[in-house]
Structure 1
Amino acid sequence: MFATYLIGLREGLEATLVVSILVAFLVKSQRRERLPHVWLGVGLAVALAVVFGWFIEYTSTTLLNTSEERELFDAITSVAAVVFVTWMIFWMRRAARSMAGELRGKLTDALAVGAVAVTGMAFLAVIREGLETALIFYSAARGLADNNTGPLLALAGGIATSVLLGFLLYASALKINLSKFFTWTGALLILVAAGIFKYGVHDFQEAGVLPGLNDKAFDISATLDPSTWYATLLSGMFNITPAPSVLEMVAWVAYAVPVLVLFLKKPSRGAARPAAPAAPASNPAGTGDGAAEPATPTSSTSAPKSA
């Protein structure tokens, strides 16, 4: 449940920050009549993400007939989820500084075109987070009983928390060091992704694509009782199991160690930085880059306050 809560919190806050940038831009530029079009685009993105998540589950449980087909499908979705997680956390770290300006520029262009363009721009700005959330959630919550609604409730709780935090940031009622927030959650998500990758390798082995299913790296079943709360936590959060295969452990270590090192490595201070554009006389958007640039390493970050 904690893993799915973290997924909902991280992805939800990214989407919430994007929406807050768009809303603040329209409010401060006196274009409130376009707000319904932004919310329409956001609503369509959320609806498509829900349909996508349902389709993945439906494909696994209904469209596939044999256990080998289901295992192969689950393995492929696991690898895809790991790719999305890895890309997402590194993209967020690299693009966060310029995200606000890019979104404002795209929205300005969309406003010049019309309502459909505004709706489409808002849709495209949010849909990536929604599709990622659906895919990662499916991969993280697999293997549970059909009537286990805990992970789904945890995901909803994470999204609800992110919406609340986003609203408080927008209203300038809360300050969060978003640089540290995204760093810590990114590191945890890398460990979650390592567990998903390990699970995917296990599915490939069960599907007969990879060998070594019965070649155990170790067996600590006597020490790590699967019925205990801490075993459940380790298994649910990081997919640490008492008797993994050699190939599973190789996959876990081969992903987690280098990706964590690269993610936590500080950018070189000597790296060339693009020249900052000249500051305009006034900021018509009035958004303030604090909320729009969640990775800026400042002591605290808050989203713009509405007019």
Structure 2
Amino acid sequence: MLASFLITLREGLEAFLIVGIILSYLSRLQVKQYHKYIYLGVMLGIVVSLVLAYIFQVVIYGMENELYQHYLMIFILLFATLVLSYMVFWMSNQSKQIKGEIEENLERLVTAGNIAGMVFLAFLAVLREGFESVLFFSSLSIGENISAQDGLIGASLGIIVSIILVYALMKGVKNIPIKAFFKYTSLLILIIAGGLFGSAVSMMQASGLAPVFMPIVYDISHILDDRSLIGTFLRALFGYNSSPSLLHLLSWALYMSSAVILWKRSYAYAK
């Protein structure tokens, strides 16, 4: 539940911050009559995201061929790892330019009276984050055995908190450490991505797509089993494995060490 909360909180903040920037800039231009079209774009983005979520579930779990289903799950895990990683590093490098680009595009749309363009701008902002959330939830449910109920509760709380934070920011609350929030939640998201990558490697080994080498490097399940209550929580959030194979352990360690180094460098340059 914590992983789904963190992801929707992060994704929701990105989407609603963009929407907040759009609404604020329209107010500054004294064209508040266009607000309703922005809300329409937001609603369309949410609806399409829900449709994508349904399609994902039907495609993944509706496959009769278990082998193809297995391959699709591996692809989703690897793709989610790639998208999560890209999202973190892209945000650290582009966050300063986003506001200016949005305002420039919006001013052009207002000048031209392009209502469809305004709707699409808000729609795209919500749909992009919504699609990423759908992808991440699918990968979490595949790799970490998160129940639909827990995922839904965490996602709902994340969206609610993100809306509250964005509303506070738009109202001029200055003591919200939004930059620090994005920086350190980025690190947590990279840790989650590392867990998904490890799960993908394990599934590839189980299906014969990757060599096993050493089935078990160590076994600490007698101390903390990854199927126990705490172990399941750690597995869902950090990719914890009480008895990893050699390839699983090396793959996870290589990803995490590379990701942390790049994370430090990207945020150092972003200052």
Counterpart in the other structure of 1:110: 109
Change (3 A) 1:147 1:232: closer
Asked if structure 2 preserves the Cα contact closer than 8 Å seen for 1:9 and 1:159, the reply is yes
CA shift for structure 1 position 174: 5.4
Q: TM-score, normalised by structure 1?
A: 0.82
| Structure 2 unaligned regions, length at least 5 | none
Asked if structure 2 preserves the Cα contact closer than 8 Å seen for 1:69 and 1:207, the reply is no
Higher CA-based Rg = 1
Matches within 5 A, 1:1-307: 1-62=1-62, 64-111=63-110, 112-142=112-142, 148-173=148-173, 175-212=175-212, 215-226=215-226, 228-265=228-265
CA shift for structure 1 position 168: 1.1
- More helix, by proportion: 2
CA shift for structure 1 position 266: 6.0
Mapped partners of 1:216, 1:113: distance in 2: 64
CA shift for structure 1 position 256: 0.9
CA shift for structure 1 position 147: 6.0
Deviations 1:211-230 (A, max 9, x none): 21872222212221345443
Counterpart in the other structure of 1:286: none
Question: Number of paired residues?
Answer: 270
- The percentage of aligned residue pairs carrying the same residue is 28
Mapped partners of 2:105, 2:3: distance in 1: 33
Deviations 1:191-238 (A, max 9, x none): 000001111111222232222187222221222134544312211111
CA shift for structure 1 position 144: 6.5
* SS of equivalent residue, structure 2 residue 142: coil
Change (3 A) 1:4 1:213: farther
Asked if structure 2 preserves the Cα contact closer than 8 Å seen for 1:49 and 1:134, the reply is yes
Mapped partners of 1:139, 1:178: distance in 2: 27
Counterpart in the other structure of 1:287: none
Q: For residue 50 of structure 2, what is the amino acid of its counterpart?
A: V
CA shift for structure 1 position 267: 6.0
Asked if structure 1 preserves the Cα contact closer than 8 Å seen for 2:145 and 2:236, the reply is no
| Structure 1 unaligned regions, length at least 5 | 270-294, 298-307
Mapped partners of 1:39, 1:201: distance in 2: 42
Asked if structure 1 preserves the Cα contact closer than 8 Å seen for 2:11 and 2:129, the reply is yes
* SS of equivalent residue, structure 2 residue 168: helix
CA RMSD of aligned residues (A): 2.0
Asked if structure 1 preserves the Cα contact closer than 8 Å seen for 2:74 and 2:200, the reply is yes
Mapped partners of 2:188, 2:208: distance in 1: 31
* SS of equivalent residue, structure 2 residue 82: helix
Asked if structure 1 preserves the Cα contact closer than 8 Å seen for 2:16 and 2:163, the reply is yes
Asked if structure 2 preserves the Cα contact closer than 8 Å seen for 1:202 and 1:213, the reply is no
